[in-house]
Amino acid sequence: VVSTVEVWTTSSAARELDALLSDDERVRALAMRGEAHSARYVAAHALLRSLLAERTNIPPARIRIERRSCVRCGGPHGKPFCADDPSITFSLSHSGDMAAVAVASSLEVGLDIEDTSRKRGVARLAAKTLSDRERLFFEASGSEDACFFRLWTRKEAVLKATGAGITRRLSGVSIPPDESTVNFEGVWTLTDLSLPGRYVGTLAVEGSGAAVRQREWTP
């Protein structure tokens, strides 16, 4: 049986979506500075909760999403998981006005999307975050912004899949720029997603052989 990973994206800013959130998430959304920032947070969590609701038959706002322990300090702010059914695996990312969620079953997943129009400081960021091998690849591209964001989302997707997140010096982590199977604290299959407009994204899935389906969510 082939496992399937679904990747859902949305740019909805519908205010009614906050009815799908937990009380804590609603408070967090209200406290955010900037309407756009808050709207994409609401959309991301509404999307995640409606995907989990379909799979658990629990109303979206009542699903318990908890955090694993942080790999660095053990504190309660590691990778999120569904406490009602931990076999449902997911990863959430938001950038610009897009929100995206990858969801699977019993396979760790990591998703990162980036709005490439946030161009300020790319050269500095590249110098600070790329490994030697990644930097050579970036320079060979003519130091293209698009190339940097591709390398960045590949690295972040893997770090989010492992649950580590950004807890170490990023230049010390090297993800092969042009291979679909990478070995980093386990074997991961990377899929460079094709997203609309100015967005770049990468999905990391545990092991190999899973099918990836990409869909747009219209609430």
Ligand X SMILES: CC(C)(COP(=O)(O)OP(=O)(O)OC[C@H]1O[C@@H](n2cnc3c(N)ncnc32)[C@H](O)[C@@H]1OP(=O)(O)O)[C@@H](O)C(=O)NCCC(=O)NCCS
Q: Whole-angstrom Cα distance, residue 159 to residue 166?
A: 7
Whether the CB-CB separation of 137 and 152 falls below 8 Å is answered with no
Q: Whole-angstrom Cα distance, residue 96 to residue 123?
A: 20
Q: Which amino acid is at 121?
A: G
Q: Considering only 2-10, 49-57, 86-94, 210-218, which stretch makes contact with ligand X by CB under 6 A?
A: 86-94
**Minimum gap (Å) between residue 35 Cβ and ligand X:** 16
Identify the residue among 37, 64, 72, 168 touching ligand X (CB under 6 A). 72
**Minimum gap (Å) between residue 34 Cβ and ligand X:** 14
Identify the residue among 13, 58, 70, 212 touching ligand X (CB under 6 A). 70
Residue 92 contacts ligand X per CB under 6 A = yes
The CA-CA-CA angle for residues 33, 100, 4, to 5°, reads 160
Q: Whole-angstrom Cα distance, residue 123 to residue 88?
A: 38
* Cα diameter, the chain: 50
Residue 169 contacts ligand X per CB under 6 A = no
Looking at the DSSP assignment, which residues form a beta bridge with residue 113? Answer: 201
Q: Per CB under 6 A, which of residues 114..133 are in contact with ligand X?
A: none
Shorter beta-carbon distance to ligand X: residue 165 or 176: 165
**Minimum gap (Å) between residue 112 Cβ and ligand X:** 5
Q: Which two tokens stand for residue 139?
A: 């320079």
Whether the CB-CB separation of 9 and 100 falls below 8 Å is answered with yes
**Minimum gap (Å) between residue 166 Cβ and ligand X:** 3
Q: Whole-angstrom Cα distance, residue 128 to residue 120?
A: 14
Shorter beta-carbon distance to ligand X: residue 8 or 41: 41
Identify the residue among 112, 115, 134, 206 touching ligand X (CB under 6 A). 112
Q: Whole-angstrom Cα distance, residue 43 to residue 99?
A: 6
Binding mask 2-31 for ligand X (x = CB under 6 A): ------------------------------
Q: Binding residues for ligand X, per CB under 6 A?
A: 41, 44, 70, 72-73, 75, 77-80, 91-94, 112, 156, 160, 163, 165-167
